[in-house]
Each structure stands twice: as structure tokens, then as C-alpha cells.
């Protein structure tokens, strides 16, 4: 916060890009911003300026900015493995790295749970149309039977997880 109570403007003054690939430079820049400006979003144009070492900020429609946007998705993996954080993206504001476990649990986990739950529902729909008793191949019959059994267990586990999420986190 500045002296007048407003948040400090996010700048990359003093930042030196590191990394061989664009993805590594983006991950490094997001980690740097995470430490210097925790919780602040970085626009993709400012991020591009920082990781490419430009003097001027490129336009949103430039090829360089589009490449950085794509690299942000891949940079998430680097942040997860090297810095134990992820990314939060808001189209109007930009992107940022999560700052701690609470931030990660609030912004990352609910979306991941929804994706797994969607995959679970899709698997369940497929499993429900297969009757293992109508399968002659013994190994395939065993596979279908075990898949059905495990999908039921998975349904129960996901039901518990959805219950833990609560209404405030499931509406995202």
C-alpha cells in the first residue's frame, strides 16, 4: 500500500527475466510478482513487457502477448513443481500466482474438483450402459465389473468432497 492507502502500482522495475523458454520466463515473472506484490494481478501486456525485456508495453492483440497468454497455461506446471503455487486468472485483470495454501485452496481446488466430478459423471454414464454379464471375454468382463465397482466408490468419495466445498465455493 502506498502512503495514501491505494495499492501500489504493479511494476517490474528491477526485474531481470530468467529462463531459456518463454514458459520458464513467464513462471519466473509470476513468482517474482508473487513475492513482491502478493495477490496482485498482472495484465498480460505488462507480463509480456517484463518477460521479453521490452521498453514499451505491447498491445493486447499483438502476437507476443498472445504467446505469453499461452505460456501462462504451461507456466502453471512450473509454478506447481518448483514453487508449490498455482495461477489465478481473471480475463479483465490478468493473471497472478497463488500466495499461500489458503489462496490455493480457495481459487484452485474448487475448479479442479468440478473437473474431476464432471469426468466422474461421464465415466458413470458409460459404466451404466455396460452389463458385464453380457461380456464373453473374461478379462474384459473383469475389467468392466471392477470399473463399475470402483466408480461406485468414487461416486461416494466425490459426494463427500462436494459436501465439503459448501455453497460459497461451488458457485464459482
pLDDT digits over 66-108, tens only? 999 999 999 999 999 999 999 999 988 999 999 999 999 999 8
Euclidean distance between the first and final Cα of the chain, in Å? 28
CATH architecture of 22-99: Orthogonal Bundle (1.10)
* Short-list 87, 70, 89, 65, CA closest to 78: 87
Would the CA dihedral through 55, 14, 64, 22 be positive or negative? positive
Average pLDDT over the chain reads 89
pLDDT single digits (tens) 135-153: 999 999 999 999 999 999 9
At 14 the pLDDT is 86
At 172 the pLDDT is 45
The answer to whether 97 and 30 have CB atoms below 8 angstroms apart is yes
Fill in the DSSP letter of residue 9. P
Residue 170: pLDDT above 80?
no
User: What is the DSSP code string of 20-78?
Assistant: SSHHHHHHHHHHHHHHHSTT--B-HHHHHHHHHT-SSPPPTTSHHHHHHHHHHHHHHHH
Q: What is the pLDDT confidence band of residue 165, given thresholds at 50, 70 and 90?
A: confident
Of residues 111 and 171, which shows the higher confidence score?
111
Residue 60 C-alpha cell reads as 493486447
Fill in the DSSP letter of residue 10. P
d(CA 64, CA 52): 9
pTM: 0.77
pLDDT single digits (tens) 15-73: 998 999 999 999 999 999 999 999 999 999 999 999 999 999 999 999 999 999 999 99
Look at the chain and count its residues.
Answer: 172
The answer to whether 68 and 54 have CB atoms below 8 angstroms apart is no
Residue 7: pLDDT above 80?
no
Amino acid at each position: 500500500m502506498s502512503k495514501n492507502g491505494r495499492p501500489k502500482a504493479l511494476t517490474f522495475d528491477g526485474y531481470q527475466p530468467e529462463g531459456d523458454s518463454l514458459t520458464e520466463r513467464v513462471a519466473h515473472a509470476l513468482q517474482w510478482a508473487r513475492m513482491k506484490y502478493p495477490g496482485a494481478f498482472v495484465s498480460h501486456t505488462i507480463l509480456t513487457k517484463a518477460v521479453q525485456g521490452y521498453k514499451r508495453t505491447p498491445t493486447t492483440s499483438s502476437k507476443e502477448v498472445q504467446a505469453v497468454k499461452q505460456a501462462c497455461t504451461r507456466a502453471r506446471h512450473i509454478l506447481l513443481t518448483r514453487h508449490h503455487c498455482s495461477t489465478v486468472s481473471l480475463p479483465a485483470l490478468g493473471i497472478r500466482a497463488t500466495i499461500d495454501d489458503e489462496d490455493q485452496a480457495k481459487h484452485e481446488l474448487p475448479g479442479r474438483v468440478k473437473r474431476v466430478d464432471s469426468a466422474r459423471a461421464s465415466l458413470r454414464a458409460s459404466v451404466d450402459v455396460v452389463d458385464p454379464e453380457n461380456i464373453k471375454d473374461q478379462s474384459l468382463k473383469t475389467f468392466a465389473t471392477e470399473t463399475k465397482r470402483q466408480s461406485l466408490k468414487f461416486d461416494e468419495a466425490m459426494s463427500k468432497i462436494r459436501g465439503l466445498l459448501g455453497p460459497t465455493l461451488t458457485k464459482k
